[in-house]
Every structure is written in C-alpha cells, then in structure tokens.
Amino acid sequence: MNNETLSALSLTNIDVPYEDLVGLLGKRLKLEECVDRITFMGAGPEGVQDGVMTFDIFPNRPDLYSVEGIARGLRGFLGLELGLPHYPVGNAATDFVVQPNVADIRPFAVGGIVRGLDLDSALLRSLVDLQEKLHLTVGRKRRKVAIGIHDVDRVTPPFTYKAVLPQSVTFTPLGLAQEMDLLDILVNHEKGREYAHLVASQPVFPIITDAKGQVLSFPPVINGILTQLTPDTRNVFIDVTGTDLEAVGGCLNIIATSLAERGGKIELVRTKYADRTLETPDLAPRAHTLNLGRANELLGLSLKPNEAVELLRRMRHDARAEGDVITALSPTYRLDLLHEVDLSEDLAIAWGYDRYPRGLPQRATIGEPLAANEFGETLRALLIGYGYQEVMSLTVASAKEPVETPPRVEVLNPLSDEFTTLRSSLLPALLNFFRLNKHRELPQRIFETSDVVLGAKNVRRIAAAAMHHKAAFTEGKSLVLSLLRDVGQSGDVRAVEDGNFIPGRAASVVLDGRDVGRFGEIHPKLLEAYALVQPVVAFELDVAPLRSSHD
C-alpha cells in the first residue's frame, strides 16, 4: 500500500552542471572526481546525466543549495582556498524602511544590493533554484522566510515595507499582464492561491514599495512584474521578510554571497526599524569554540591542535588554537553551526570519511530481543493470521488531522505543516492509508503496532482497521475478543461514547478494571474527511496491559 510523505530528497536535490562548477572552482577536475569529492563533503550523489551532477544536500547546509555554494566549499575541501571567504562590501547608500504596522503580520525584513552581475542563463537558473530551496526548507514553505530579488535599476529607493488594506493597492504580478489588487491576486493568481493561507486571515497585507509608490513585492506571495529579472539585469535588490530575524538575515547572507561568487559586488542597505537601524547583509564572522579533546573522543581521532586548525580552515573557518581549545571564526552563511558538535562534524568531513578504517567492532556483545519486541512479533503473527496486512507510518503527523486524539507533543521548527506534532494515536494513519488506497480492491484490512507519544513518553499501541461494505461493530468486537483470547487475556467490553465512532456502535476494552482501548464503527464525519465511501471498523489498544500473561 502507498503512504504520502514529504520527501526531503525532493526538497534538497541540487543540479550541478559540470562545466559551470569547474569554471567557479578555478581548477579542472574529472567529472568522476567532482562527484567523489562532493560526496565526501557530505552530499548524497543522486546520479549524472548529460554533464549535470545531482546531489542530495542535507537540510542542515542551505549554503550548499547552489552550484556557487558547492564550488566555494569544494575549493576549501581541496585545499585550493583556505579560511574565511572574503567579500568586499560597499557602503550603505540605500534605505529600506520597515514600518511598525507589519509587526503583527511578518515583523522582520532585511535588504541587500548586489551590483555588476552578468545574469546569464546559468546564473539565473541557479539563483531561482536557490531561492526556492530556501523557501521550502529554511523558509518553511514561505511561512518563516520569503525572498524577493529585483532589478533595482527599474525602481527608485528608498524602499518601504508596510501593511496596507488588501483592496487599496494594485500592481501587475509576475506571470500575468493585468493589474490586480491584493485580494484578487489571492483568488486568481496561481501563487496567490498557493500561499493565501499565510496572509488571508489578516486585516492588512504586507507590500514593498519604492519612493514613487510602485510595488516591488507582495510578500510572501508574489513579486511585481516591474522588477522582473532579465538577461539585461546588472544590479539587484534582495528583500527577505519573515517571522524570525535570524533566519531572515541568514537567507540574505546566503543569496548575497552566492551572487558574489559570480563576481557581484555586495552593497549594504540601511534597514530601518522604528527602534534601530541594521546595515545588511551582515557578513561579520561568528565566533565559536571547540574543545579538541572532546572532539577527538567523539570522532575516534587523535588530532593535534595545529592539525585541527588546518582542517577547519579547509571547511572555510578561520581558526587558532590555545592548548586544546580551538577558536573558530565561521562564515555568516553557515546557519547550521549551533554547538561545538557541529564544528566536530566539520573536522570529520575535512579529515575524510573515506580515511576511517573499516573493521568489525572491537567490543563483542551478545544481544537478545526485548520481551516487549518479542510480544510485538506475537501480535503481528496473530493479526496476519486474521487476514490483516501490516503497514507503517511516521511518528510525526499533522495537527490538522480530523480524528479526535489525546493531546500531542508539538515539534519546534517543523519541516512542513504536515509534520507539526508527534502522533498520539495510530488511527489517523490507518484512515489515511485507506484514503490513499481507496481505488484498490476491497475488502482492505490493515494493522500497525508501533509507538505513540503521550505526555512526552513513548507508549506502544496496536491498531487495526477494516474497510468493506459489510464492516460493522460485530466484526470489530469479534476481532478484539479473538486477539485477547489468543494472548491469554479475558476482558470486558463496555459501551462508550467516542467522537471518532458512530454513537451506539463504540465500546471500550477493560482489563482488570482499566480501559486499555476502544473499537467501533468509524463516524461518517471522519469517512467524509478522508474521502471514504465504504464503512470502516477499527480498534486501538495499549500493548503493555496485553503482555501481563507473557511476563
């Protein structure tokens, strides 16, 4: 059976044209050598076709989401260029005013200018791809960060980021030929419909305008056609807006330095808030420290301080040693550096994953299965014997699932809206499997035994569901009682009211006076929510109480 997941691979696959890479690298390597070295920088090779290499870049390294970033990292990895990259930065001559009325919508914005670009097809393709990769990952599908890149020569600074009434402003968005107000864009423009949920609930919408009132952008939805990039564009203004100032500034740094790798000249912009003024992009390196003794212990190495300094310089840090304490100045585009463990990882990459010796573990151990896992195998064998097929689903789940479940643990900085919580029930996943496979032959009978998270603790559950035109309460009761009998338990079945089941067709399972689960016919409102037309009967039980006779 099929299940839907949001694949990180689809988000972070980067196409790297070989000729473009060697031009940026400054040294001609064989294509196979490029694939090999980039792989050992920490990227996953996905294949080569017509001179274009494809890599899966781990989501913790958004600075490598472009051929420019990969070339910059590879120059250090190969020892061609060590230490911090240096980008000349011009003085601020442009103001970007952030008005206070955006505070409740998308409160943060920064700007930057890059001049002297030759916007050929390779750079344009790389720039657009980098922008979208940052939107999807760091930007959480533009909810956290949205980026606009504009031909600055077509507008007049200063620029203003402000909130306006949705029908008070009109402009021509990218992809269309007529002016629209902001509400019209949300209804009639493809990008408007896709990102309407990010702003539609607000009484005012954010826009960016120039000194003449011309609209550059309606973040996080769409830019205006006025500042569209073309092969004649030489100078660009980059706006980044969002809900997290650190992420907003980091994305600006990544884009500005990537364009600088193509020969662009970065120019600061005065980003003015009511209470402060920032000059952005801020490329001042960030200081980090590393205890070399702990790093060696983690990595299984015996690096000396001077060796560690040299390896960090290959990873584009400036570093110095004072005894076993390494102080590193790190590029501002490295958004992944949160802890000294991250610098330890850089040491391992620079030292070479391919240099680690291969062999069997030196400490021999004799393992045995946990009693809980052995009992889990018993449950699997029973359900399969009853004619059910096992399925597996993710522990992370959407908070928008229509099934009534116990309170869930929320995930900080989720990858997407689909992965915002840790599941507290297996039932939503089973219904989702039916939704995805409703076109297949009936009857369908599936089960899953796995952990849910209740009160920040893992709890093992077993759940099963059957979908066919005769699915009814009696089938669910028979299945539950058979399972209890076959694991040596005798329990009671009591009527219960549960919003997930049809009233009068739901029951709880009681063992030794304790409610260990529920079963019944799924409520029509859930069938409708999952687009199911056939009745469904399901149960979900705690596994631990079922084990008592096996312990």
pLDDT in tens, 286-326: 999 999 999 999 999 999 999 999 999 999 999 999 999 99
Q: Kindly tell me if the per-residue pLDDT of 169 is higher than 90.
A: yes
Q: Kindly tell me if the per-residue pLDDT of 11 is higher than 80.
A: no
Q: Which two tokens stand for residue 333?
A: 């585009």
What pLDDT, on the 0 to 100 scale, is given for residue 547? 85
- For 7, 195, 397, 413, 493, the CA distances from 418, given in Å and listed in that order, are 11, 15, 6, 12, 35
Residue 8 and residue 519: Cα distance in Å, rounded? 35
What pLDDT, on the 0 to 100 scale, is given for residue 549? 53
Mean pLDDT of 391-408: 90
Mean pLDDT of 226-230: 96
Q: Which two tokens stand for residue 521?
A: 């016919």
| C-beta of residue 461 within 8 angstroms of C-beta of residue 454 | no
The percentage of the chain sitting over the pLDDT mark of 90, rounded to a whole number, equals 85
| C-beta of residue 20 within 8 angstroms of C-beta of residue 4 | no
What pLDDT, on the 0 to 100 scale, is given for residue 365? 75
What pLDDT, on the 0 to 100 scale, is given for residue 455? 85
pLDDT tens for 489-546 read 988 899 999 999 999 999 999 998 899 999 999 999 999 999 999 999 999 999 999 9
Q: Is this model's pTM higher than 0.75 or not?
A: no
Residue 77 and residue 67: Cα distance in Å, rounded? 15
Q: Kindly tell me if the per-residue pLDDT of 91 is higher than 90.
A: yes
Beta bridge partners of 236: 114, 151
Q: Which two tokens stand for residue 409?
A: 């643990």
What pLDDT, on the 0 to 100 scale, is given for residue 412? 83
Mean pLDDT of the chain: 93
Q: Kindly tell me if the per-residue pLDDT of 359 is higher than 90.
A: no
Look at the alpha carbons of 538, 540, 541, 543 in this order and tell me if their dihedral is positive or negative: positive
pLDDT band at 364 (very low <50, low <70, confident <90, very high): confident
What pLDDT, on the 0 to 100 scale, is given for residue 7? 36
Domain ranges of the chain: 8-77, 89-280, 286-353, 371-550
- DSSP code per residue over 433-468: HHHHTTTSPSPEEEEEEEEEEETTEEEEEEEEEEES
Q: Which two tokens stand for residue 523?
A: 């409520």
Residue 442 and residue 469: Cα distance in Å, rounded? 8
Per the listing, tokens 């996943």 go with 429
Strand, helix or coil for residue 370: coil
Task: List the CATH code of the domain at 371-550.
Answer: 3.30.930.10
Q: Which fold has domain 8-77?
A: Phenylalanyl-tRNA Synthetase; Chain B, domain 1 (3.30.56)
| C-beta of residue 93 within 8 angstroms of C-beta of residue 106 | no
| C-beta of residue 458 within 8 angstroms of C-beta of residue 372 | no
Residue 65 and residue 49: Cα distance in Å, rounded? 19
What pLDDT, on the 0 to 100 scale, is given for residue 397? 87
> Integer distance in angstroms from the first to the last C-alpha of the chain?
34
Q: Kindly tell me if the per-residue pLDDT of 383 is higher than 90.
A: yes
What pLDDT, on the 0 to 100 scale, is given for residue 136? 92
Question: Do 8-77 and 89-280 show the same overall fold?
Answer: no
Mean pLDDT of 40-54: 93
Q: Please count the residues of the chain.
A: 551
The percentage of the chain sitting over the pLDDT mark of 70, rounded to a whole number, equals 97
Residue 93, number of CB atoms within 10 A of its CB: 11
Helix extents (H) in 265-391:
292-299, 305-314, 340-351, 371-385
CATH C-level class of 89-280? alpha beta
pLDDT band at 4 (very low <50, low <70, confident <90, very high): very low
- Of 33-42, 154-163, 411-420, the range with the lowest mean pLDDT is 411-420
Mean pLDDT of 255-263: 97
Q: Kindly tell me if the per-residue pLDDT of 371 is higher than 90.
A: no
Mean pLDDT of 22-40: 95
Cα dihedral angle (122, 123, 126, 129), rounded to 10 degrees?
-110
What pLDDT, on the 0 to 100 scale, is given for residue 90? 97
pLDDT tens for 459-492 read 999 999 999 999 999 999 999 999 999 999 988 8
Strand, helix or coil for residue 56: strand
Backbone dihedral region of 29: left (phi > 0), alpha (psi from -120 to 50 degrees) or beta?
Answer: beta
pLDDT band at 3 (very low <50, low <70, confident <90, very high): very low
Q: Which two tokens stand for residue 97?
A: 């005013």
Residue 168 and residue 174: Cα distance in Å, rounded? 19
What pLDDT, on the 0 to 100 scale, is given for residue 79? 95
| Domain spanning 286-353, CATH architecture | 2-Layer Sandwich (3.30)
What pLDDT, on the 0 to 100 scale, is given for residue 260? 97
